[in-house]
Structures are given as structure tokens and as C-alpha cells.
Structure 1
Amino acid sequence: MPDNPIRFGTSGWRGVIADDFTFANVRLAAAGIAHFLLSSSARPHVVVGYDTRFLSEKFAEVAAEVLNSHGTETGVATRPDPTPALSHEILHGRLDGGINITASHNPSEYSGLKFSSADGAPALPEVTREIERLVGRVISGDHSLKGARPNGSLRHTADPRPAYLETIRRKVDLKAIAEGRLRIAYDPLYGTARGYLDELLRQSGTAVHVLHDFRDVLFSGVGPEPSEKNLAELAKVVKDNRCAVGLSTDGDADRFGIIDADGSWIHPNYILALLADYLIEVKKVPGGIGRSVATTHLVDAVAKYHGVPIYQTPVGFKYIGELIKEDKIVLGGEESAGL
């Protein structure tokens, strides 16, 4: 039997486009996911999204076709959407899961596939191992791989944006931000948060300077990662325009970057600690704090100060997701700026 090309890591299956991330392999992955979903539901329903990378929307179409052919209903996004918005769509629509074609912050030659469970969180290792096993059975011929025979009755479009933005409006005091009369710079790094964060700020009446507000599948030759080096241009815009802060998100908007008013990059570890303190001290949200094993122990000090538990997880946001699902934490984060 040929080797199984589908191997899920800490955040999905990723590979170099046209090398190991191919249309043929996307079909295999989608078939494995379809068989997994059908093992627990006669008519599963999932959302299929994608990022701004080369061919992402085409890979999403192929995945949706395979899912439809196996009897899975799909809502296919009509534009690139952030990973958090797709997770919200799973919860909001009470779906069985979701597929997102994205390689997150990786360089432009990469693409990837993330599978999220019905709780909106990245699938846990026991789930992805089962999907890999099912892909192996497809390769061996024990399970079917139905071709591109889309069933129109199982296919519709999905737009996660309105419900996601409305939830943020309910949870975030945009009026207070507007009353601060702040000038904010924002760099989506050519990614999926274009039309999300900047739109929210504009609707609140905030003056927003937006960089890289268009699709560039090469990301100007650098990966869409909000690192200190990659946010040098944002830092200059913040200083030149006397902005209060510079904000940035990575390719699929599940990581963040912050630039202070003086143009300095603030390490995500400090932001995690500040947010945890704010949620507990000001918002009075009950619960502990979650962090990966590689994340700053500064959040441990915050937890100790407030007398709340600290939860340490392996690397991978899927484990933070488990703590959220169990309602144990007010905030969970990773050193890589996942929050």
C-alpha cells in the first residue's frame, strides 16, 4: 500500500503547494474527514473556508465536492475568512465541524488544511489520528473515494462574517474605544482579517490606517507572521501618524501582533498577561488561565495574584480549546501569539 501523505501536526496538515499539498491529496484528506463524520452522523453538515493563499479557494472547492459526494452537507465560504470566524460559524450554526484551507503564518509556498470539531476547536490528536487511519483505508481501497460529483442539494454558500462581527460587538465595548478618540494603525498582512477588524474599528468611529489591504499570494516575499521584523513597516506608520497603537493579525487571523505608540513591538507574552489581568480584575470573569508549556510563566504570576488556577498544556492550541470547552479558563494563550 502506498504511504499515507496526510499527516496532521499541532495545527492541521500542511505542505508545500504542488509538492505534497496537491489536489489529489486534498481529495484524500476530505474523504477521510467525510468517513469520520459519517461514522457518527447520517447527514453531517460542515463549513468549508479558506485563506488568501495561492489556489486556496480551489482547494476548498475540491474538498467540498468530495464531502458532498460522500453525503456531507457543506456551506462553502464566499470569501477568505479568519479561522476564529469559521470556528464561530461551527458553534453558531451547530455544525458537525469545519475545514479551513490555510497554512496560517507559514511562508507563501505552503498551504494547509485545518479540521475543527463540532465544538469549534482544532481537532484533538485522537480525532486526527482516526482521520489519518481512514485516509489509509481509502488509499488501500477499503473505503471509497468518490470523485467530483457534487450534489447540488448538499451544497450552499456560507458567510460567517455577520454573526461573528455581531458577537464581537456584544462582547467588546466599541463605544469606549470610540470615545477614546484613538488613531489606530492595522496591518492584516494580506490575510483573512481584511474587512473584519478594520471594519469594526471604523464602525465605532475610530480613525484607522490600514496597510496591505489587498490579496498578495506571495505576501511581499515574507510569511504572514506578525513578528517584530515583519511589522517594521507598521511600526513606522504608527510613529509617523502618531497612532496610539498598531495592531496586526497573521494569515488566518489566529495570531496577533502589537506595536506600541513609540513604534516598539510588544512581545505576545506580555499581552497575554495583561489581558488575563484585565478579564479577572476589571471584567470579573471567573476561571483560571491556560498556557502551553512553552509560554511565559508571567501569566502564572497573574493567576497566583488573583488566586485562580493555572493550566499548563502541550504545544498546540487544540489543548487550550479543551480547557475552553470545559469552561475552566478566562483566557488561554501560546507564546506564538495564539490567544
Structure 2
Amino acid sequence: MNKRAITFGTSGWRAVLAEGFTFENVRIVVRAIAEELVEQGTGGNGVIVTHDTRFLGDRFALTAARVLAGAGLTPLLTNRDTPTPVAAFEVIRRGADGAINFTASHNPPEYQGLKFSPASGGPAPKELTSALERRIAELQRKGAPIPLGAIPDEKFDPRGPYKKRIGELIDLEAIHKSGIRILVNCLYGTSRDYLDALLTEAGCPIEVMNNHPDPLFGGYPPEPAPGYVPDFLDRLESGSFDLGLCTDGDADRFAVFAPNGVSPNANEVLALLLDHLATSRGWKGTVVRTVATSHFVDAVAQKHGCTIVEVPVGFKWIAQEMEKAPEEFVIGGEESGGLTIRGHVPEKDGILATLLAAEMVAVRKEPLASILDRLKKETVDVVSRRVNFPFEPEERDALLARTGDPPSEFAERKILEHITLDGDKYILEDGSWVMFRFSGTEPVIRFYLESTAERADILEAAGRRFLGFA
């Protein structure tokens, strides 16, 4: 038996297929989830079981369903691959006890993953994933066969209810009436028949790319980053489009592109959509962002009288803040390209995000680049960067000691505040900031910075010297 420890990150368990991610380990993990549900006195309302378009996703889902049935629980299988936010929506809509979703999100094609969402529909909190890890380790130690049960033939199609809800949250008619021309990239993943269908059914003039399943994702990781979507960017520039919309493999992350090479990053999209919600809908209240997310969002929040709540990296922290006071929540997001809004699921949703961006462009009646430029002039104009530095395992303690004990100055600016919410973040006297955070999955330290364009290179060079990677 493979005794390799199984750990849960911010979005569940991920491993390379046929190495750590095996049918045997899947049976163990799902059995641990089932035992946890039974012990908590839940499990009587069924568990959603679904998958993305990766290798063997449907087979893993059937295996999970049989393990749940073997524990006396009711598996609720989808009839096809499903976006992560749709799985979350179905948990809430049905009052289910949770969802088991086989997805490795934007990881390279050789990876598979298992994400468990509890009855809230949001990401599993740390106390739950820690409890699951303990159960998994005990099941591995015992090595006993995992009981399997029979599963019903019936499966359900989750598209209709979710699309209806998105139609209530997004003004699709405004997008249609505006006549904006949209290029959609489903990235061989789960957003096909959702993102493209919502726009097509509303009568919007769109062109769709990569709207069929491909476990290899066209030869790139299924991440909507410029370096991984060359065909999409070429088509966007060669066609007469106003906007390009792209989601990742499981449709929880997003990217929005404009022609002529001027495209906002995820930080900027979050700020833009906050401004749109406050301006067009009059929404006020709480805006939640992770500690690594741009303070451009803070400036826009201040403009509209909204309160900023800063949380650790990981969407589960945003979800927890959203659940505390859903009526006060406006928007929550992170620099890695995930967000949700008031009245929606406590999970990041790339379909919602891209459509909300299209609504904004339609309502404002001007190009995306112009909207962004004006908002920066009204608030702040900053540059945000993230640089990854690999290190040897024996270097970790020295790096940890160095970042945890900041100097009085950084890049010739006084450090006014040292935030240790998640990693080490230094707020500098000129309003710029830098942050150091260790990856939870690989020997990499991430260096974040935000400043004016004139000082961005200076801060990056200072960060390299400070860490010893100059």
C-alpha cells in the first residue's frame, strides 16, 4: 500500500496521477470524508459527486460514489463534468451535506485532485481538513479494505438552475443590447455550455474557442495566463472583438482580456468590478481581500465608503467572512484570479466574474482599457508583481528568520507596519508594500510588491538582495 502522507491545501488534495493520486488513495480519502460526515451527524441529505475534464475524472467520481454508498450515504452524481462554483451552488440549492469534486483546477494535466466542500458550499476550513488528514492517516495505518456500495443509475444535470441564478445576478440583456463582440475561451474545461451558453442564449454576438474537453488542455496548464493562451490572444488581436473572456479548467478562476495588449490583471479586475457594483447597483458594505491582493481595491473601496477586511491567502478565508454577514458583503477576491459577490456562492466563480466584467463594459459603453485608466486617475495608479524564488530545503529556516525580522527601512523607505497575517508584509512610508510568503506545496518563497511604476523595479531589486537571490 502507498503510505505517502495525504495532505489538504487551500483547495483540497492534489497529486500526480498514478503516483500519489490512485484509486486506492481515493477510496481512503472518500472513506475519511464519509466517516467525518457520519460522526458529525450529517450525511442524510446526500453528497454531490462530480469532476472536471481531467484524465479519469468520471471513473474517480464513480469510485467515490461507491465508497459513499458503502458508508450508508447517498451520492448525488452529475451527468457530466461540472465547474467548481456550480458544485458549490448545488450543495446550497439542494441542502446537501457537501460536495466531492475531482479537480486539480489550474495545475498541469498530469495532476488530479479531490476537493471537498462542506454544507456551506465554500472551501473546507482548516479544522475540517486537519480532521480529514488524521482520519486518512489512520485508515492508511489500518490497511483494511474500504467497503463499497451499489449506486443508482440516475444522474442529474446541474446546468439549468445555475444558469437561471446567473441570469438573476448578471444583466445579460444589457450585454446583448450593447452589441459588444466577445471572444470566449473555455480552455477545454468545464465552463463550456455555461459561459458560452449564457451569452449565446441572451443573443450576444460571441465566438467560442476550445469548447470541447481535452485532458491535455491543448498542451498547457489550464490557467488563463497570457503565456498559456497564445491561440486565444492571437485570435483576439486578429478579430474585431471588444473583449476576451477566459476561465481555467474548473472555471473558478478567470481572466479578462482587451485587444491591443491592454488587459487588466486579476487585482485590477477586482477593483473594477467593485467600482461597477458600487456605481451601477449602489452596493455598500464589506469588501474582503487576501493579504496579497492589491491596495488598489482599498482605494476604490474608500471612494465608495466601503470597509476593507484583510484575510490570509486562500479563498476559504474570504468565504468565512462572507458567511458572517452576507447582507453586508459586497465582493471578495484574491490576486490569483478568484472572486464572488453578494447573493452568490461562498466560492470563487470565474463564470460570474467574466460575465460581470462584460456587463460593466456594456453598461459603461466604453472600452475596458478606458474604464481602467479613468478609475486609476480617480484613485491610485500602482504596479503589482509577484516573483517566485525556489530555494533549497536547508535554506528555509534562514529565510524565515530574515523575513520575520524586518529592518527599519526597505528600498530606502521606512517600514511603518509589519503584518504577519500570512507571511510577512511590510507597509512602507510612501504607501507601497512588499510581502514574503512561503508556498504551501513547493520549496518556493513568493515575493509580492506594489508601488508606483517608477519604483517597482527598485523594490524588486531590493527584495532580491534582501532574500539573497540578487
TM-score normalized by structure 1?
0.95
Given the alignment of the two structures, is residue 318 of structure 1 paired with residue 319 of structure 2, yes or no? no
Pairing of 1:179-190 with structure 2 (within 5 A)? 179-190=177-188
What secondary structure, in the 3-state scheme, does the structure 2 residue paired with 1:285 have?
A: coil
Residue 158 of structure 1 aligns to a residue in which SS? coil
- The CA deviation at 1:319 is 0.9
1:85 matched residue in structure 2: 86
Counterpart amino acid of 1:136? Answer: A
Contact 2:246 2:256 in 1 (8 A): yes
The sequence identity of aligned pairs, in percent, is 42
Provide closer, same or farther for how the CA distance between residues 156 and 137 of structure 1 changes in structure 2, counting only shifts above 3 A. farther
2: CA distance between counterparts of 1:228 and 1:290?
26
The one-letter code matched in structure 2 to 1:127 is L
Deviation digits for residues 6-45 of structure 1 (CA, Å, limit 9, x no counterpart): 2100111000000001100110110000001111226241
Matches within 5 A, 1:1-339: 3=3, 5-39=5-39, 40-41=41-42, 43-141=44-142, 146-152=146-152, 156-326=154-324, 327=326, 328-339=328-339
What is the RMSD computed on CA atoms of the aligned residues? Answer: 1.7
Q: What do residues 285-336 of structure 1 show as CA deviations (whole Å, max 9, x unaligned)?
A: 2321111111111111112222221111111111111122122421111111
Counterpart Cα distance in 2 of 1:42 and 1:112 = 22
Contact 2:176–2:203 under 8 Å retained in 1: yes
- 1:114-163 superposed Cα distances (whole Å, 9 cap, x missing partner): 01111110100101111111222322339x753333254xx741322111
Q: Is the 8 A contact 1:184 1:209 kept in 2?
A: yes
Q: SS of the residue aligned with 1:332? A: strand
Structure 1 stretches lacking a partner, 5+ long? none
Paired AA for residue 133 in structure 1: R
**CA deviation after TM superposition for structure 1 residue 180, in Å:** 0.6
Equivalent AA in structure 2 for residue 80 of structure 1: D
**Structure 1 residue matching 2:115: 3-state secondary structure:** strand
Structure 2 runs not aligned, ≥5 long: 340-470
**Matched residue type, 1:114:** K
Secondary structure class of the residue paired with 2:77: strand
Amino acid of the structure 2 residue aligned with 1:246 = G
The size of the alignment, in residue pairs, is 336
1:34, 1:67 within 8 Å by CA — same for their partners in 2?
A: yes
CA distance in 1, matches of 2:68, 2:24: 14
Counterpart for residue 394 of structure 2: none
TM-score normalised by the chain length of structure 2: 0.69
Shift of 1:83: 0.3
Which residue is 2:364 aligned to?
none
**199-208 or 128-137, larger mean C-alpha shift:** 128-137
Distance 1:212 1:151, change over 3 A: closer
Paired letter, 1:325: E
SS in 2 for 1:58: helix
Per-residue CA deviations over 1:44-103 (Å, capped at 9, x if unaligned) read: 411011000011111111111101110111111111110001100001001110010000
- Aligned equivalents of 1:234 and 1:264: distance in 2? 15
For the pair shown, the structure with the greater C-alpha radius of gyration is 2
